[in-house]
Amino acid sequence: MADQAINISEQKGEFREKVKSLLPDAGNLNICLTCGTCAAGCPATGLEGMDPRKFVRMVALGMDEEVMNTNWVWMCSMCQRCIYACPMKVDIPQMVGLVRKSWPAEKKPKGITASCSMALRHDTCSAMGASEDDFQFVVEDVLEEVRQSQPGWENLQAPVNKEGAYYFLNQNSREPVTEPDEMVPLWKILHLSGADWTYGTKGWAAENYCMFAQDWEAWEHITKVKAKAVDDLGCKVWLNTE
C-alpha cells in the first residue's frame, strides 16, 4: 500500500457518505473493530492486493479513488461469509455491491452485463437468450425421448404452464441450452415423490446476472417478471434450483 501516511483530509469520502445514506444501519461501517476476521476467512483475500479489511478501511478513510477503481469488487463473490463472521456485522458485501453499481455500465465486465442484457430480451429471463418456444420445445423433445427409450418411464411428466400446480420449478439456462439430459433426473425425482409441479414458459430461467451486474432497474424487472409468472399460474411455491 502507501509508502506515506494517508492524509484523510485530502480524501473525498463521497462513497462513505453513500454507504451511510443507503445501507441499513449505515452498513455498521463506524463500528468496525479492524480485527481482520473478515479477511482471515475470505477466499478473495490477496487478490489485487486487497482483502475485505483493507476494503472497509479504504471506505472508512474516504479513499474513493482506490475503492471505486479496484477490480477486486468483481473478484469478491458476495458470499457473505465476512459479515457472517464479523462480530460487528459490518456489511461488506453490500458495500461491494454499491461499488459495482457505481461503475459505468461500459466498464463493468462484459460477460456479466451481456448476460443481463440477454435476459431482458425475453420474459423467460434466460441469460443465454433462450425464448419461450425454445424452452418448451427442448423440454417436450427430451421428455418424448425418455418416454420412448427408457422402460418404466412411459408416463414421466414435465408439465409446462400447468395452472394451479403447487411448485413452480425453474432451471438454469445451461441445462435446456447445453445439456438438456441433465433435466431428466430432476423430473424423475419429482415424479417418484408425487410432487405437483410445473415449468412456466415465462420466468423459467433461474439465473439473474442483472443482480450480479448491480443494475438495479434491470434486476427489479427480472425479479418482477419471474414473480408474476409464478402468480399467473397460481403456484404456491417457487422452487429455485440455483
Partner 1 sequence: MVRKSFGDPVAEDLRFVVKTVVGEENFVDMYPNKSNNYCCGGGGGYLQSGFTEARHEYGRMKLNQILATGANYCITPCHNCHAQVHDLSEHYEAGYHTVHLWTIICLALGCLGENERTYLGEDLAEVGL
Q: Is 110 in the site for partner 1 (CB under 8 A)?
A: yes
CB of 30 to partner 1, least distance (A): 25
Three-state SS across the chain? Answer: CCCCCCCHHHCCCHHHHHHHHHCHHHHHHHHCCCCCHHHHCCCCCCHHHCCHHHHHHHHHCCCHHHHHHCHHHHCCCCCCHHHHHCCCCCCHHHHHHHHHHHCCHHHCCHHHHHHHHHHCCCCCCCCCCCCHHHHHHHHHHHHHHHHHHCCCCCCCCCCECCCCCCEEECECCHHHHHCHHHHHHHHHHHHHCCCCEEECCCCCECCCHHHHCCCHHHHHHHHHHHHHHHHHCCCCEEECCC
Q: Is 85 in the site for partner 1 (CB under 8 A)?
A: yes
Q: Which residue has the cell 478473495?
A: 44
Q: Is 213 in the site for partner 1 (CB under 8 A)?
A: yes
Instruction: Tell me which stretch binds partner 1 (CB under 8 A): 9-17, 29-37, 73-81, 229-237.
Output: 73-81
Q: Is 48 in the site for partner 1 (CB under 8 A)?
A: yes
Q: Which of 24, 49, 104, 152 binds partner 1 (CB under 8 A)?
A: 152
Chain positions 181 to 200 lying near partner 1, rule: CB under 8 A, are 181-182, 184-186, 188-189, 192
Q: Is 15 in the site for partner 1 (CB under 8 A)?
A: no
Q: Largest alpha-carbon pair distance within the chain?
A: 75
Q: Is 204 in the site for partner 1 (CB under 8 A)?
A: no
Instruction: Tell me which stretch binds partner 1 (CB under 8 A): 27-35, 54-62, 160-168, 205-213.
Output: 205-213
Q: Which is nearer to partner 1, 62 or 82 (CB)?
A: 82
Q: Is 228 in the site for partner 1 (CB under 8 A)?
A: no
Task: Point out which residues bind partner 1 (CB under 8 A).
Answer: 41, 43-44, 46-48, 71, 74-81, 84-85, 109-112, 114-115, 146, 149-150, 152-153, 172, 174-175, 179, 181-182, 184-186, 188-189, 192, 206, 209, 212-213, 241-242
